[in-house]
Amino acid sequence: MTFRQARAHDHARLFNIWHAAVVATHHFLSEADLAEIADVVKTQYLPNADFTVFVDASDQPQGFMGCTDNNIDALFVAPAAHGQGIGKQFVARVKEQFDTVTVQVNEQQPQAHAFYRACGFKDVRRDPVDDAGRPFPIVHLEWRRDA
């Protein structure tokens, strides 16, 4: 398995990874919330952002990460590949590049929160709603090289 930059033909696979991962982990979302967010991810986010993908031997993405500078905007791994260290490898790559790395997670997603804390991130702030004003609290975390 290896990392590479996502290509336009990967977008359908990335959406499928995103959707399967969200269904498996974001139990707090209603069907309507999921449909609304999925539309934005599929039509606006995936076609317009840069991603690094982790691919298997057949060059099939198994996970992807998008960052803006030192902020992890998105990190999703196909549920069938959970527990294989892919997420940790993505985080390690970002940590190699920056002295400080930030990320935000839904408070109702304790697995993601625990994952980042296990990677050395610390809670720095909590917002009571998400960026769209929905009642999904967001926890902001930060990792510092010298901490």
Domains in the chain and their CATH numbers?
A: 2-144 (3.40.630.30)
* pLDDT of the residue at 46: 95
| Closest residue by Cα to residue 63 from 13, 120, 136 | 13
Q: What is the pLDDT of residues 73-107, one digit of tens each?
A: 999 999 999 899 999 999 999 999 999 999 999 99
Please report the DSSP string for the chain in residue order: -EEEE--GGGHHHHHHHHHHHHHHH-TT--HHHHHHHHHHIIIIIGGGS--EEEE-TTS-EEEEEEEETTEEEEEEE-GGGTTSSHHHHHHHHHHHH-SEEEEEEETT-HHHHHHHHHTT-EEEEEESS-TTS-S--EEEEEEETT-
Query: Is residue 3's pLDDT more than 70?
Result: yes
Q: Mean pLDDT across the stretch 130-144?
A: 94
Sign of the alpha-carbon dihedral angle for 19, 21, 22, 23 = positive
Query: Is residue 1's pLDDT more than 70?
Result: no
Residue 17 parent element (H or E): helix 11-25
Alpha-carbon distance of 96 to 131, in angstroms, equals: 28
